[in-house]
Structures are given as structure tokens and as C-alpha cells.
Structure 1
Amino acid sequence: MSILKSPLRALLAALLAGAVLAGPAIAAESMTVRIASLEWPPYTGETLPDGGSAVARLRDAYAAVGVQLQVEYLPWSRAVMAARTDPAVIGYFPEYDAATVRKHWLLSEPVGNSELGFAEPYDRPIVWRGPDTLAPLHVGVVQDYVNTDALDARIASGDQPFERSVSDRINLLKLAHHRVDVAVVDRMVFAWLMANDPMLHPYLGELVINPHLLERKTLHVAFRPDSAGRRAGKLLAEGLRRLEAAAPASPRR
């Protein structure tokens, strides 16, 4: 965790002292933000260095404004439920930006990026040009994950054959055993799981990512839509702004 310079810390303390932070998820005395997350390597994971690459950036952003981050790692559906029902948890992370999410949550500024695609068998590649061309395929998705607006709309309307799994690992195992034709997965998550998960390692080389990506997405914290959630979001936005300002400038070409 980075340590702020004394004048900046003093100024920040003065500003925060006058702010009223509602709810137990952000206590003015300790300035701690607690969120729920999941095992989603390499982005998030309890045993990963710094809790995962996305959690590391989130932690750095909060540290830049003198706030401590606590992360509780849970199965995905439980992480979302914890943010909804546990007053000590202010939100969950990471989440994609989607209209269905914004109906119930306050989304933070982007913390990272994700490339969403289809995993497929190496010897049975698919050719698709848009959501409407996916109709003949049985698509594997993870329960409670946001995919793309178009694909989720097709699933909700019954126009897309699909099967839900409780995790990316199970989704990919179903693909390996021909239970689904393709599996929706983040490209980096796919690469990490295939290389590191003992249950999937036997299929390394047999499963690949289709070169036509579904969508490039941003990763956000989904905060509860209350005063504490809004405050936590503002602090995160300021922390991200300070990280960007402190980052070395890219060399000019």
C-alpha cells in the first residue's frame, strides 16, 4: 500500500473529517471499504499475488486517497448476494457495464478491461458474424454473469439455446465433454485456467478462443445505491484519477 505525503494526508484528513459517511461499510474512523469478489484469475483470487491484477489496481486506487480495501472472496452468486444483503459489504467486484446492472447498482469508474469471447474445440471451430448467427449453437454461460446485451437478450427471450454453469471451470469442462458447442469466457481467464487448473490442463490445446471476440468490456465495482455506496464510488474515482496522474507519460513516437 502506498503512503501519501504528509501535506496531502493532512488535507485529505481534513476533507474527510467533515464528510458524513453513512452505513457501516465505510467507517470514518478507519476508512475501510469492504467489497465481495470471486475467484476469477488472473483478475481476482484470494491466493493470487496482491489478490489478482484487478484487485491490486483497486487497492492502489483506494490507497491513493488513504482508504483501506478489504476483499471477501466468495462464489459469484454469493458475492452479489453479500453486497445486496450484508450491511458490512458496500459492493461487489468485478462487474461489466450493462443496463440491467445499472438498474440496481451504482457502477464505479472503470478499474480494468476484459476481452470477452467464445471458447471452442480446436477441431470444431465456429464461424459467426453476429448474435443472430448463433441460433444453431448451444452456448455455455456462467450463472449470474453478464455477457453481452445482444446475447443476454437472446437467452432471455428463448431464442438462444444455452446451458448455465456455476463457474468458468465447469463451463469449460462442459465444452471439453461436448455438452455445449461454445463457452463464453474472458480471454485472459481462459488462458489462466487452461494453464493452471488441474482439471482443465488435460485439455490444453484441445480448447481455444475463437479469434472473433464478442466484446471488449470495462470492469467496475458495483456499489449499493445508497449514500455509502456513492461516497465509496467518489473516493475510488479520485483514487483512480491520482493513479493516472502519477503514471509515467507514454513516450512520443
Structure 2
Amino acid sequence: MRRHLCLLWGLLLACAGGASAQAETLRIATGELPPYASSARKDQGMSLHIVRQAFAKAGVQVEYVFLPWTRALIETRDGKWDATAAWGRNAERDKGFLVSDNVLTEQWQILYRSDRNFTWSNLQDLAGLRVGVVADYSYTPAFWRMVKDGTLRADVAPDDVSNLNKLLAGRVDVVPLDRNVACDLLGAKFTGEQARRVRAHPKLFVPDFTTHLMMSEKLPASAKRMEAFNRGLKALRQSGEYSKILQQQPCAADLAQALQGG
């Protein structure tokens, strides 16, 4: 009887140890980019919610630390944080990181004022225009090459709100921005009259702007953690939960029409 009790106690301890391992909490550095990443939202943003739920499928908990984006990147590459989310691909910036499967595909368009005529088919059509940009954003390698060689005139701002203010004031001609981000900012930070003065060209600025979780190559656990995340992300998609998360971003009808190029 005593032997059986000892065996039972051993099994209980083993189970408790397994539960403890499964309850690992990863600290993930991120920044503010509503509606994808936001300390003000209950779900902390669509992208961060996807990351959280994907890790949950793998039995891992996460805790987000909101920092300036550049700091989040540098400190994660150095191994201070377990991961950082969510980033577009950039060959130079990706160095030193393991990069996950696609977390979410953003819909980048070019915004302009409704009192202006604007059309474009390729980046060369933007030559001569003042393009509002944020320095840390990915955009595309071709875009940054054309900025570097002087073909495109980039007007750098610290954030998207500043760029939208410049656009409304006529200080820049166009602003590349994700549709959901534009919708969120125009609805929350600007008056209805201001929002109605902004339009989006229907052609996508970036055809396939995927975003990703990144982990430092310096951390020995990163490879296994990334494998677990990718498995969880796949399971989240297959369960139907992923699609439901993407449907949780409301946009007022007038804004939706304008940002669809209407």
C-alpha cells in the first residue's frame, strides 16, 4: 500500500512539473500600432491577440512589454526579451533573428487628400511628390532604395498621426499606410470633417505585406519556441479562431468607403 502511495505521489509530482513547464511565460517586446498592437485595447491589438492565442495552442503564456519600436527591436536582438512582434520583413533588420510564419497580412495603400487628383501604377509615379514616411517602417526594399538615391522625396515623421496631420495641412502629398491603421487613427484622432478629406487609392502599395514574430538567435531556447509558435499559429488558423479575430476590426461606413478608394 505504501509503495502504491509513493508511486501515486511520484506521478502527481511529475504532472505538476509538466504543468509548470507548460505554464512558461514569454516576455514579448512590442510597440503601439492600433489596431494591431495597442496597450489601450482589451485584447492588446489584433496581431498581439493572434500571437497570444497561437502560443496558447502550444501551452505557452505571453506577457507584452510596450516600448518604442526601435528599442523593442534592439533589445530583443540582444536577448533581453524573448521575442518581439509584429514586424514586416526587412532583410537588413531581420539579421540576428529567427522569423516566424506570417502572423497577419496588412493592407497597405497610399492616402491622399480628397481635393487632389491622384493615381499611380508604380513607384516611379511617386517621383516629385512629397511622401510622408516613418523612419522605422518596412515599406519595401525598392521604396527605400529610391529614397536613398533621391528618386523619391521622403518627408520623415515620428509617427502616423504626424504624417496624417501633414497630409491634411498640405505639407506632404501622399502617405503610405495600412488600411486598418488609417481607419483607426482617422476615427480616433481626427474630426469627421478631417477624416472625410482623406482618400486611399485602391491599388495596394505593398501587394503582400506579411508581419511576423521575431526571436533573437542569441537565445538558445528560440528555435524550439519558434517551432512551437508556428505549430500553434497553424492550429489557430485551422480552428477558425484566426478568421474571427480578423473580423473584429470595425470601420465606420464612410471611412470604409474612402479607404477602399471610394
Q: TM-score, normalization: structure 1?
A: 0.81
Cα distance in 1 between the residues matched to 2:81 and 2:192: 35
Identify the match of residue 231 of structure 2 among 218, 238, 241.
238
Aligned-pair identity (%)? 29
Cα distance in 2 between the residues matched to 1:29 and 1:245: 22
Alpha-carbon deviation of 1:30? 5.0
**Cα deviation digits, residues 31-60 of structure 1 (max 9, x gap):** 121111111111110111210111111100
Identify the match of residue 46 of structure 2 among 32, 53, 58.
53
Alpha-carbon deviation of 1:223? 1.7
Aligned positions of 1:1-253 closer than 5 A: 13=18, 30-85=23-78, 87-198=79-190, 203-215=194-206, 216-226=208-218, 227-247=220-240
Cα distance in 1 between the residues matched to 2:224 and 2:166: 42
**Cα deviation digits, residues 50-102 of structure 1 (max 9, x gap):** 101111111000011111111111222222233234x4312321111232333
- Cα contact 2:37–2:46 (8 A) shared by 1: yes
Cα distance in 2 between the residues matched to 1:206 and 1:34: 40
Q: Say which is worse superposed, 179-188 or 99-108, in terms of deviation.
A: 99-108
From the superposition, tell whether residues 99 and 179 of structure 1 become closer, same or farther in structure 2 (CA, over 3 Å). same
Q: TM-score, normalization: structure 2?
A: 0.78
From the superposition, tell whether residues 234 and 212 of structure 1 become closer, same or farther in structure 2 (CA, over 3 Å). same
Q: Say which is worse superposed, 43-52 or 102-111, in terms of deviation.
A: 102-111
**Cα deviation digits, residues 80-130 of structure 1 (max 9, x gap):** 233234x43123211112323333422111111101111111111321110
From the superposition, tell whether residues 104 and 158 of structure 1 become closer, same or farther in structure 2 (CA, over 3 Å). farther
Match of 2:4 in 1: none
Larger radius of gyration: 2
Match of 1:21 in 2: none
Cα distance in 2 between the residues matched to 1:39 and 1:46: 7
- Cα contact 2:36–2:45 (8 A) shared by 1: yes
From the superposition, tell whether residues 106 and 202 of structure 1 become closer, same or farther in structure 2 (CA, over 3 Å). farther
Q: State the aligned residue count.
A: 225
**What are structure 2's unaligned runs of at least 5 residues?**
1-14, 244-262
AA matched with 1:240: L
Cα distance in 2 between the residues matched to 1:163 and 1:135: 13
From the superposition, tell whether residues 177 and 59 of structure 1 become closer, same or farther in structure 2 (CA, over 3 Å). same
- Cα contact 1:37–1:93 (8 A) shared by 2: yes
**What are structure 1's unaligned runs of at least 5 residues?**
1-9, 18-27
AA matched with 1:212: K
